[in-house]
């Protein structure tokens, strides 16, 4: 049986591209999960054999496990750990590269603002009944991710 991909595997892949702030890294990892739901109808990352969750925090979608690992960096960039990166399939690499090409140029604040305009985060915040600036640990609904990103998909 193949080992399931974790949020850390994906984070390491992005960190091998360049040094990235925790906020920006969270959003890039989120987009991999969201687009996997939309394009492949399944999660890309897992935690303890369950789909890796993302919560509707004040600064956008956040995976709490990934947050805990890099929280000490604050607003500073995380440097590549030069660890062994998981071997991804060609299909996985296509998705990772597509997310990087689409979202990799955004600053932390730009990518945060982008997620704030998208329905999966907005719906989770609405469900939690919180307003801008308030904390929430409401999980983003995978079905919302699948539906929303499938609707905006324009192909290659």
Q: Spell 111-123 as b/e; 16+ CB within 10 A means b.
A: bbeebbebbbbbb
What are the contacts of 111-115 at 24+ separation with CB within 8 A? 111/23, 111/24, 111/27, 111/28, 111/60, 112/23, 112/27, 112/59, 112/60, 114/27, 115/27, 115/30, 115/60, 115/61
Is the predicted pLDDT of residue 57 greater than 70, yes or no? yes
Chain CA centroid to CA 122, Å: 15
* pLDDT tens column, 101-117: 999 999 999 999 999 99
Is the model's pTM score more than 0.85? yes
Segment 72-81 shows an average pLDDT of 89
Cα–Cα distance measured from residue 70 to residue 22, given in angstroms and rounded to the nearest whole number: 6
Segment 69-73 shows an average pLDDT of 94
**For position 86, what pLDDT does the model report?**
79
**For position 156, what pLDDT does the model report?**
61
Segment 54-78 shows an average pLDDT of 95
Across all residues in the chain, what is the average pLDDT? 93
């Amino acid at each position: 049986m193949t080992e399931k991909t974790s949020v850390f595997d994906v984070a390491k892949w992005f960190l091998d591209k360049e040094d990235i702030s925790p906020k920006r890294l969270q959003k890039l990892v989120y987009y991999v999960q969201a687009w996997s739901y939309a394009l492949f109808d399944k999660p890309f990352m897992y935690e303890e054999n369950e789909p890796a969750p993302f919560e509707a925090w004040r600064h956008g979608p956040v995976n709490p496990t990934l947050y805990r690992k890099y929280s000490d960096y604050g607003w500073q960039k995380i440097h590549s750990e030069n660890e062994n990166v998981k071997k991804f399939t060609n299909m996985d690499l296509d998705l990772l590269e597509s997310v990087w090409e689409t979202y990799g140029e955004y600053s932390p604040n730009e990518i945060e603002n982008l997620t704030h305009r998208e329905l999966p985060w907005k719906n989770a915040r609405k469900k939690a009944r919180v307003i801008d600036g308030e904390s929430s640990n409401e999980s983003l609904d995978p079905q919302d991710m699948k539906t929303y990103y499938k609707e905006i998909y324009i192909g290659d």
